[in-house]
């Protein structure tokens, strides 16, 4: 009996263990979105920098107004960016606005609506509790505090936080430069005239976009024919890149030349063929120092393999763990038959349900050449090898697509 194909998790581990993070580089905060933070982010300032008012109103001393209603003398104003310089003494209040420093001596803010009068004197109608409506200095974070830990993909929310921490430059993982090469005598580029027997490349543009969306820099190597010499020439030209991703030519047909051609030049196979659907013929190895991921030609297989393997590989190169895509629970809309020995990835649509798990509905056809269903899908139902028949209403695992 032939050896069983490599399980999905083992294949991903083999790739991740084979890759090391690329060096970190320093970038401006404005260039850090989507990059992987490589050094813990330590606050350069405290936030808020001092005790500030959370509301518009009057800064008071609680002890003065404990038997409210009580009239206080207004001795000045504290606005954002224009703090009141003095102290608040007995029987005094300071007009204050949101974000303004709380004057020394004051220990609560009375809301504008809890005040009568204005001008030189105000009447506090009700006593506030100590510290009411005051945001304490450093309540968000303090100077020297580690606020975000590395590694981490930086979001827009992180960028706002890091700006507030007064960090104009950050250490992030270098973007992996990844060569993208489509193979196939029949493959032409979008916009080319399409002759009989030819198809337009989905994989080159799709995989390049995937790489860009996952923090990498795609390097377009175009299309090569199913010609070992031509393929090898392009692969050799990519040796200075951080990774090479090919599509097509990794099955066992007469024209599946990728492995053979690369092997001529000393390609070391990590694995070829894995126990998954779609995407069985996946190839991984190294052409000298260059990691090479050989995706199947079928565009759905190529993209599903990108989700499962290229995403984690890019994460690893940028300095993250390279974990498998997260799985969550959903409720099946229909029955599914028992699975065979390969992990199955079924294109599906999620519908959110108030108070319950989302419903997941598989598309009727799962042919691995059907790109339209892949684009319309927002999830892949993951069926483990040997999974028994599942009934409508059963809970299954899904990978969300974005
Ligand atoms: P292969 O893995 O080379 O046997 O290709 C499998 C199928 O995928 C064939 O039907 C190819 O025509 C198709 N295919 C290969 N490369 C691409 C590509 N870049 N874009 C779209 N389809 C492709
Ligand atoms: Mg081919």
User: Under CATH, which number does the domain 8-23+175-317 receive?
Assistant: 3.40.980.10
Taking the C-alpha atoms of residue 158 and residue 148, their distance in angstroms, rounded to an integer, is: 8
What separation in angstroms does the CA of 384 have from each of 1, 13, 139, 340, 387?
Answer: 22, 17, 47, 9, 5
Taking the C-alpha atoms of residue 50 and residue 134, their distance in angstroms, rounded to an integer, is: 10
**Does 299 sit in the ligand 1 pocket, CB within 6 Å?**
yes
Sequence spans of domains, the chain: 8-23+175-317, 30-43+146-173, 52-135, 327-400
pLDDT, one tens digit per residue, over 286-309 is: 999 999 999 999 999 999 999 999
Nearest atom (ligand 1) to Cα of 202: 20
**Does 206 sit in the ligand 1 pocket, CB within 6 Å?**
no
pLDDT, one tens digit per residue, over 75-116 is: 999 999 999 999 999 999 999 999 999 999 999 999 999 999
**Does 203 sit in the ligand 1 pocket, CB within 6 Å?**
yes
**Does 246 sit in the ligand 1 pocket, CB within 6 Å?**
no
Burial (Cβ within 10 Å: 0-12, 13-18, ≥19) of residue 345: buried
pLDDT for residue 15 is more than 70: yes
Residue 16 pLDDT: 98
pLDDT, one tens digit per residue, over 20-65 is: 999 999 999 999 999 999 999 999 999 999 999 999 999 999 999 9
- What is the crossing angle of helices 8-18 and 311-318, to 10°? 30
Higher pLDDT, 89 or 68: 89
pLDDT for residue 1 is more than 60: no
Taking the C-alpha atoms of residue 240 and residue 211, their distance in angstroms, rounded to an integer, is: 17
For residue 246, the ligand closest to its alpha carbon is 1
Taking the C-alpha atoms of residue 15 and residue 148, their distance in angstroms, rounded to an integer, is: 28
Considering only CA atoms, which of 295, 268, 391 is closest in space to residue 335?
Answer: 391
Instruction: Name the pLDDT band for 253 (thresholds 50, 70, 90).
Output: confident
Residue 192 pLDDT: 95
For residue 294, the ligand closest to its alpha carbon is 1
pLDDT, one tens digit per residue, over 362-381 is: 999 999 889 999 999 999 99
Mean pLDDT of the chain: 96
User: Under CATH, which number does the domain 52-135 receive?
Assistant: 2.170.190.11
pLDDT for residue 261 is more than 60: yes
**Does 223 sit in the ligand 1 pocket, CB within 6 Å?**
no
Nearest atom (ligand 1) to Cα of 253: 4
Distance 185 CA to ligand 2 centre (A): 7
- Say how many residues make up the chain: 402
Taking the C-alpha atoms of residue 237 and residue 206, their distance in angstroms, rounded to an integer, is: 22
Q: What is the pTM of this model?
A: 0.94
Q: Which CATH number fits domain 327-400: 2.40.340.10, 3.10.20.30, 3.40.50.300, 2.130.10.10?
A: 2.40.340.10
């Amino acid at each position: 009996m032939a050896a069983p194909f490599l399980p999905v998790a083992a294949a991903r581990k083999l790739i991740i263990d084979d890759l090391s993070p690329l060096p970190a580089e320093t970038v401006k905060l404005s260039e850090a979105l989507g990059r992987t933070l490589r050094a813990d982010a330590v606050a350069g300032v405290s936030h808020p920098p001092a005790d500030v008012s959370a509301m518009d109103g009057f800064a008071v001393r609680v002890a003065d107004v404990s038997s409210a209603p009580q009239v206080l003398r207004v001795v000045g104003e504290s606005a954002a960016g224009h703090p009141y310089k003095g102290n608040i003494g007995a029987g005094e209040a300071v007009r204050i606005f949101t974000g303004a420093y709380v004057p020394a001596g004051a220990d609560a803010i009375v809301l504008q609506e809890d005040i009568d009068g204005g001008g030189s004197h105000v009447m506090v109608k009700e006593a506030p509790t100590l510290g009411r409506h005051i945001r304490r200095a450093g309540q968000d974070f303090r100077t020297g505090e580690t606020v975000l830990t590395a590694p981490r993909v930086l979001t827009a929310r992180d960028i706002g936080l890091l700006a507030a921490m007064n960090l104009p430059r950050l250490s992030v993982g270098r973007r992996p430069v990844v060569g993208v090469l489509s193979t196939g005598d029949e493959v032409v580029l979008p916009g080319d005239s399409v002759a009989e027997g030819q198809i337009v490349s989905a994989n080159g543009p799709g995989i390049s976009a995937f790489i860009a969306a996952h923090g990498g820099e795609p390097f377009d190597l175009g299309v090569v024919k199913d010609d070992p010499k031509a393929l090898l020439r392009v692969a050799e030209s990519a040796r200075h890149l951080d990774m090479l991703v090919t599509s097509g030519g990794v099955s066992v047909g007469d024209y599946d030349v990728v492995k053979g051609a690369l092997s001529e030049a000393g390609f070391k196979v990590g694995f070829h063929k894995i126990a998954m659907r779609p995407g069985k013929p996946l190839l991984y190895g190294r052409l000298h120092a260059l990691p090479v991921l050989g995706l199947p030609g079928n565009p759905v297989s190529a993209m599903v393999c990108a989700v499962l393997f290229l995403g984690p590989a890019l994460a690893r190169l940028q300095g993250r763990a390279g974990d498998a895509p997260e799985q969550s629970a959903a409720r099946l809309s229909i029955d599914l038959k028992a699975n065979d020995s390969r992990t199955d990835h079924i294109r599906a649509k999620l519908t959110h349900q108030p108070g319950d798990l989302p419903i997941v509905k598989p598309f009727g056809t799962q042919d691995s050449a059907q790109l339209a269903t892949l684009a319309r899908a927002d999830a892949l139902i993951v069926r483990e090898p040997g999974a028994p028949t599942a009934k409508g209403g059963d809970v299954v695992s899904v990978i969300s697509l974005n």
